[in-house]
Structure 1
């Protein structure tokens, strides 16, 4: 094993032909092992591969049975590199200006310096910084494949929603705040008794937004997809179905499902035979729940696969000759079709029932809510000038019909 100080470079800033795969699932289902195995198989096939984790509790080093320092990618096998993010370095690069301002505010109001340091670290910061590192590695042009071992499902969904949510704030709120602060800074400072943010703080927020927007474009692009890992248990499968719906809501492609720890039917004793029957029932439901997606199975092994060779063997068994890196075909979760009267916006919401979906419009945004998740979907200019004529949920898809405006639209939010 050698540290890769400078992996063979192609053209910095270019990522044509690069495949990005994200693995997520409920905690404890073995997603890190499946991600590590998929990366090992890709490298064994001659693809220059990087596998990294957005999970603060890194376990890739354990999967490969290797000591992997934080920081630069480390080569654990020919063409296979593992990176555990140096969160402190990324934090200093992307958050230092913002943290410095927050610390100055807390100092004025008398907060203990040690407590202030803790308060200025945003929840989930390590996961966000891992996304920024993913952007940097993708821009380097050094990799054929990047595999991302994501945090458990709930954290992943919040993380993937962040770039678009921050974009809404940047477009509508920050410019107004910046102009107001610049014009009234002396008055506001005296009135509030705390320092107002300097231009460098606003610049840092804008820089962070630009970087996260690039991450969003990368992960929602045609060469990136999410793979769900589950175990054949009803509670786990139910969460995977909800994740499929929510990932589609935010515009991310799901390209397949890995059912892990499936008991083999051959030679089962009475105890295992009961598990085989129970798992078969759940697996039948899984096949129905993810129409059009491959459902790969990983048989329960007598021992934990550790090391590159064992992980390649695991991936070979899971994908059984299928191309694990095949780029998803067809349209993404969001598409637009034209009609004689206007257009129809199609948003895939697999598994969502009609009563779970709520739709509104606020200016140029569609406000789509599914359960506890909400997306502000900015409409392209061609749709923004039209009015909504109706909407329905049909066969796992939200269809919103648009037509030419007959009356002037109001500025407030319109419930549909």
Structure 2
């Protein structure tokens, strides 16, 4: 199953772009499901019709779904929630408050991603288009397997053994908190394996990719660049950036001149930041983009030269490598660069590179802010920029 996940800063139009992608793919003869994992569901608004927790047919070959976490709780969280509720009740929380506290922040979005795994296992569709939560929440969720891995593999078995030893004594001592039963640890292990299953699906670069939706605006571009850096860091393939709501050439009123100049400037930053990842564009339409007709127009704009279900780019614009002797190297593939003319500088967590006519402006992880760019060299067609402690 081909899986495409759309994310971007709230309000950039990612839901419309996701729905338009699914519509165009279905009209090419594919059986497509577009689903929203964002608790602030907007797919119903995009299609201008009510959508529920079960897939609903929108048009020939096209289904839509807005995730309701109720069924997913029973499948993935019920035994965990039961223990956590007892723990909060032991701490004198009211029954309803204890149940609410047992639902951790972000669980709605996480259950939505687990639905991706369910659809892959069922195999009812040719393609799955995911309208994900805004970038901040999505990045937290996509990094969750890495964050859970160390705990589950190192600490979790020790806690399970300790609980088995202490539990008989704790049951007789009412002053001690309730200890989890072995079924809790089994449910937690299954939950972790389900989350890992989602990661396996979304990091399969032959069949899955992430697409960033952005507007040509300063804050939106900055967030897209941060998202791109961390997606690459966790090995999620970004195969396109969709720049939405660009002023069309037909708008010539001087009132919009400053806005057009601003968009052109930010578009250049986008090209410098994401190249060679394809940059897809869509114009600002003269009306709200909802309903099948409007979504079809949007799809034609975005995919003017591309098929919506193709993997449009494999690889990344740069790789961050741990050097053998400490420090890091940022590697760029530059087969046609003029190596005789190079400028290199770093300010905070931004790395600026110019090699001949090739310019890049790379946002590094926050942990690299303290590092300095200490040199650069070519190895074949690869430019490696060295970063070390100042």
- Normalised to the residue count of structure 2, the TM-score between the two structures is 0.82
Closer/same/farther in 2, CA of residues 112 and 336 from structure 1, 3 Å limit: closer
Q: Mark the runs of 5 or more structure 1 residues left unpaired by the alignment.
A: 1-17, 358-368, 374-390, 401-414
Q: 1:65 aligns with which of 48, 52, 55?
A: 48
| 1:94 partnered with 2:76 | yes
| 1:370 partnered with 2:365 | yes
Q: Residue 143 of structure 2 aligns to a residue in which SS?
A: helix
Closer/same/farther in 2, CA of residues 99 and 308 from structure 1, 3 Å limit: same
**2:112 is matched with which residue?**
130
Q: Residue 143 of structure 1 aligns to a residue in which SS?
A: coil
Q: 2:306 aligns with which of 322, 325, 338?
A: 322
Distance 1:42 1:234 in 2: 31
**2:338 is matched with which residue?**
none
| 1:20 partnered with 2:42 | no
Closer/same/farther in 2, CA of residues 44 and 163 from structure 1, 3 Å limit: same
Distance 2:150 2:36 in 1: 27
User: Is the 8 Å Cα contact of residues 94 and 208 (structure 1) preserved in structure 2?
Assistant: yes
Closer/same/farther in 2, CA of residues 33 and 157 from structure 1, 3 Å limit: same
Equivalent residue runs for 1:189-204 within 5 Å: 189=171, 190=173, 193-204=176-187
Q: Mark the runs of 5 or more structure 2 residues left unpaired by the alignment.
A: 334-344, 351-363, 369-373
Cα offset, 1:130, TM superposition: 0.5
Kindly provide the CA deviation profile for residues 214-249 of structure 1, in whole angstroms up to 9, marking residues without a partner as x. 100000112111111111111211111111111111
Cα offset, 1:289, TM superposition: 1.0
Equivalent residue runs for 1:250-265 within 5 Å: 250-265=234-249
**1:234 is matched with which residue?**
218
User: Is the 8 Å Cα contact of residues 277 and 313 (structure 2) preserved in structure 1?
Assistant: no
Deviates more, 1:124-133 or 1:273-282: 273-282
Cα offset, 1:184, TM superposition: 2.3
Deviates more, 1:163-172 or 1:151-160: 163-172
**2:340 is matched with which residue?**
none
Closer/same/farther in 2, CA of residues 255 and 347 from structure 1, 3 Å limit: farther
User: Is the 8 Å Cα contact of residues 31 and 229 (structure 1) preserved in structure 2?
Assistant: yes
Cα offset, 1:275, TM superposition: 1.5
Cα offset, 1:323, TM superposition: 2.0
- Normalised to the residue count of structure 1, the TM-score between the two structures is 0.77
Closer/same/farther in 2, CA of residues 265 and 148 from structure 1, 3 Å limit: same
**1:8 is matched with which residue?**
none
Closer/same/farther in 2, CA of residues 278 and 160 from structure 1, 3 Å limit: same
Give the paired residue count.
352
Closer/same/farther in 2, CA of residues 207 and 154 from structure 1, 3 Å limit: same
**1:218 is matched with which residue?**
201
Equivalent residue runs for 1:158-177 within 5 Å: 158-177=140-159
Q: 2:39 aligns with which of 21, 41, 56?
A: 56
Closer/same/farther in 2, CA of residues 94 and 298 from structure 1, 3 Å limit: same
| 1:181 partnered with 2:163 | yes
Distance 1:397 1:229 in 2: 29
| 1:117 partnered with 2:102 | no
Distance 1:246 1:148 in 2: 19
Closer/same/farther in 2, CA of residues 330 and 40 from structure 1, 3 Å limit: closer
**1:275 is matched with which residue?**
259
Q: 2:121 aligns with which of 129, 133, 139?
A: 139
Distance 2:184 2:375 in 1: 44
**2:135 is matched with which residue?**
153
User: Is the 8 Å Cα contact of residues 238 and 316 (structure 2) preserved in structure 1?
Assistant: no
Distance 1:51 1:332 in 2: 26
Distance 1:348 1:52 in 2: 36
Cα offset, 1:318, TM superposition: 1.5
Closer/same/farther in 2, CA of residues 96 and 47 from structure 1, 3 Å limit: same
Distance 1:119 1:78 in 2: 42
Deviates more, 1:181-190 or 1:160-169: 181-190
Closer/same/farther in 2, CA of residues 217 and 334 from structure 1, 3 Å limit: farther
